[in-house]
Structure 1
């Protein structure tokens, strides 16, 4: 009987969160940024539950907080909410900027999938296949170059890798996501896999070499 009650699909786990915490989790309308540390609050409330595990909740949170509707909520709302829908802490500007960047990347990927490459029609691929990179390379006809190619920007603040003795639960860290460093807190260390709750509320699984000192 226990196995039949256990939820397996992440969408079912999300449905469980919608029903269990209706003032916090929303499917479409009324989505609000989640309180920082919401995972711990959920873990306490579902302690002993036969339906969902903490790992499933973590995966569901990752999906919920990476959706474009949630990212828009982070951008457009001043405060976060707790599990009961009460006002929590203010959304920091750093979190807003991170959400904006994630939204832009998501929309760019969507547009790329929907639109065919221009210039490929009738064999006319000149000037579209590859953009020249590096000094002395010709540019497409009509292109104006106002300045020399710049090297990839360096981080403005030097960051140090997280020492191995600090890789433990409740340690505040910076996590490398793409080219960005996002603040978060280690919630669980499972051999080489390290679970981190970002300040945005998102749950990520990463490795020690992607963690840096705050």
Structure 2
């Protein structure tokens, strides 16, 4: 029976990248922003590898580029690097702003999670507080609705024509309520893989892509 040597754990896949491309991927110190389109470069280098698949590499890249240290590197570095550690294109201000926002949101979520896990000895006392009036409830509900309402954008946003869903084309991809600049790295039937300005790999659908 044929055995497979492919790695299964995501940390093992990351370890593979650290060892295979030591000038590019770093665990802690020396992290630099990756060049745009680096997934394609990795895919070419590992073609025929018995250890990792392209899907695993894409998932590992998503984890690597969403790490706080990596996002901080994007905000502080002037240039990106290729697989051999050579200087690539300059980090654009838009990429820095996006990384800063992602970093702030990630830290806010972590702080909120820690706060929720923290024991509250006064929880019983709080339960006896006066309940808000009906009017107060309505006011609070109205405030939440106002905050949740998406910001209206000026200018028309046009969907990306099917003829333009091609590898290396620059697009805007819809993530929640936000539109983020990206580049198409792979088109597989209905699935489209894009690389965000931070370097993160995302799988989406063609109808979530828009013209820049």
TM category (shorter chain) comes to 0.7 to 0.9
Q: Deviations over 1:96-145 (max 9, x none)?
A: 11111111111111111111398855113757x9771438xxxxxxxxxx
Q: Deviations over 1:173-203 (max 9, x none)?
A: 1111233222222222223221112232111
Does structure 2 retain, via aligned residues, the 8 Å contact 1:2–1:50? no
Does structure 2 retain, via aligned residues, the 8 Å contact 1:159–1:213? yes
Give the alignment's Cα RMSD to 1 decimal.
2.7
Q: Give the TM-score normalised by the residue count of structure 2.
A: 0.84
CA distance in 2, matches of 1:16, 1:153: 42
SS at match of 1:89: strand
State yes or no: 1:36 paired with 2:44: no
Report the equivalent of 1:19: 19
Q: CA deviation at 1:151?
A: 6.0
CA distance in 1, matches of 2:78, 2:153: 28
More helix by share: 2
Q: Deviations over 1:76-109 (max 9, x none)?
A: 1111111111111111110011111111111111
Q: CA deviation at 1:163?
A: 1.8
Q: CA deviation at 1:2?
A: 6.6
The alpha-carbon distance between structure 1 residues 153 and 22, as it changes in their structure 2 partners (threshold 3 A), is same
Q: What runs of 5+ residues in structure 2 fail to find an aligned partner?
A: none
CA distance in 2, matches of 1:153, 1:178: 12
Report the equivalent of 1:134: 142
User: Paired residue for 1:188, among 186, 189, 194?
Assistant: 186
The alpha-carbon distance between structure 1 residues 4 and 80, as it changes in their structure 2 partners (threshold 3 A), is same
SS at match of 1:5: coil
User: Paired residue for 2:197, among 185, 194, 199?
Assistant: 199
CA distance in 1, matches of 2:188, 2:162: 14
CA distance in 1, matches of 2:202, 2:33: 17
Q: Deviations over 1:40-88 (max 9, x none)?
A: 1111111121111111111111111011111111111111111111111
Q: CA deviation at 1:39?
A: 0.9
Q: What runs of 5+ residues in structure 1 fail to find an aligned partner?
A: 136-147
Q: CA deviation at 1:150?
A: 10
Q: CA deviation at 1:152?
A: 3.9
CA distance in 1, matches of 2:130, 2:43: 55
Report the equivalent of 2:97: 97
SS at match of 1:132: helix
